[in-house]
Structure 1
């Protein structure tokens, strides 16, 4: 009896552990029984909130779905504006699951890759439609915020008022009890809510941007040449004006210098004349000394002159002869 009790306890413990499952915070759980979704009394797939739950061991399996906000990077694609101009737009989208049972059915066992594939297709379609209604200026300016809001609202609400049932393709669930109707063009069809749509980068195609850059470069070079020629013209004018001012200033300075020099010479001559007029003999003596200094300063000067000349009178006698 005791030998049977121990295996029984082991089986019970294993059964308890295999019948318990935990749904962590940020996730939701869906129980599959024999590969089919476990439903409640209203025949709606049962969604388990975070916490500890029970299931039938070896019969039920649990599928966990991420309830957090997801980010999907959309591959850069070419779009045509209202002006029939091509743009390369790189964008991303944030989304989360709001209806886990619908999401599980619509994406095929809650496959995220299927959900993002559908999201990517619908996002590209909406961006193509919205960008096609706007010109480049509206897209790259503040109106871009309105564009992203319109895309988000169109994804969440859809573009048609005709509701259709969810297609249960790729699932093994019976189709006689379907989920509530949803707009075929909205994300509610997938049980998804689009939180935000953002445009990361807007570029021109390489062939277009190259031509635009060449044209911009040519325009800038033309402007540079025009400014350079204007600068050279102004430089020549400034040089000519500077030369004129220099010549004028030098001429006026020379005129002032000569006038000042002439006035000084006249004043000096007048002072000399006034001084020497008071004693003519002293003036004659000074003039003779200066003449001697000038004549004999060379050392090898030869003069042919009579010794009794008036030139040597101060050498013969320091006292000048009386004037007749």
Structure 2
């Protein structure tokens, strides 16, 4: 009898301890807690889902506590990242990679848990659809060369349009507050990339050729300028020499010895010559 009573007491103690352990739950910082009773969210008298802030709380043992993170999260267009192909307004296939930043709205926890089986994955699908729709509707202006250049040059406007299109739907349908949309990559199709690379390469080679030609022309211009300076200096030297000789000849003429100087110089020149040619004019015969 004593052992039976001891067993009953021990069992009751274990049940009480287990019930006590099941009657308390803790919510970590940055999270919010809700209670689920027999598969249904516990609501207050007004019909709103009861939420619990971070800390230690009590509940009935048969009620399950669920913890939801309110921290900011991000997702890509595809589950494992990567890009998707989207049609631009002019029919060009654009490769796009973008990320969505969001968090669970604390006052819409019921929608996040109850309105869909997997709110985050369904939000990803809504994100892809919205990106395709916004890019398809993004008409280029007269200042844009094409739909692709419009998307690249006005990316901030595209991000804002996508954000505004997502915010209301995400909050109402999934209880998620969208913070921002970031377009990480907007690239043309592969064949257009090859064409653009060829154009860029040709342009680079043309620029290099122009630069080399300009350098050669500059070098030649500098060489020509130096040659002109040398010729000018030589001409000035010859001019000075002629002027000096002229002054000396004038001085000799004034002293009356110019004829003697010329005869002596002619004799010196003829004396050093190996052969002398005389300019002899034949006389005409008189008839």
Q: 1:15 is matched with which residue: 4, 13, 19?
A: 19
Q: Specify the alignment match of 1:145 in structure 2.
A: 156
Offset at 1:11? 3.5
Cross-structure match for 1:86:
93
Mapping of residues 1-324 of structure 1, within 5 Å: 3=6, 8-42=12-46, 44-57=48-61, 59-74=62-77, 75=81, 76-98=83-105, 99-108=108-117, 114-132=118-136, 133-134=138-139, 135-141=147-153, 143-158=154-169, 186-229=170-213, 231-233=215-217, 235-260=219-244
Instruction: Tell me how far apart the structure 2 counterparts of residues 71 and 127 of structure 1 sit (CA, whole Å).
Output: 16
Q: For the residues of structure 2 that align with 1:137 and 1:104, how far apart are their CA atoms?
A: 41
> What is the DSSP-based 3-state SS (H/G/I as helix, E as strand, rest coil) of the residue aligned with 1:107?
coil
For the residues of structure 2 that align with 1:245 and 1:221, how far apart are their CA atoms?
A: 36
Cα distance in 2 between the residues matched to 1:157 and 1:33: 30
Q: What CA deviation, in whole Å up to 9, does each residue of 1:151-196 have, x standing for no partner? A: 11111224xxxxxxxxxxxxxxxxxxxxxxxxxxx44111111111
Q: Secondary structure at the match of 2:115?
A: helix
2:123/2:174 contact within 8 Å kept: no
Inter-CA distance 68–261: structure 2 relative to 1 (3 Å threshold): same
Pair member with larger Rg = 1
Q: TM-score, normalised by structure 2?
A: 0.69
**Distance in structure 1 (CA, Å) of the matches to 2:30 and 2:116:** 19
Unmatched runs of 5 consecutive residues or more in structure 2: 140-146, 258-287
Distance 2:18 2:208 in 1: 85
**Structure 1 residues 84 and 231: alpha-carbon distance in aligned structure 2, compared to 1, 3 A threshold:** farther
SS at match of 1:218: helix
Q: How well do the aligned residues superpose, as a CA RMSD in angstroms?
A: 3.4
Query: Given that residues 171 and 177 in structure 2 are in contact (C-alpha distance below 8 angstroms), is that contact kept between their aligned partners in structure 1?
Result: yes
Range that drifts further, 72-81 or 41-50: 41-50
SS state at 2:180 partner:
strand
Q: Which runs of 4+ in 1 moved over 6 A?
A: 264-268
**Separation of aligned partners in 1, 2:235 and 2:172:** 94
Contact kept, 8 Å, 2:148 with 2:188, in 1: the verdict is no
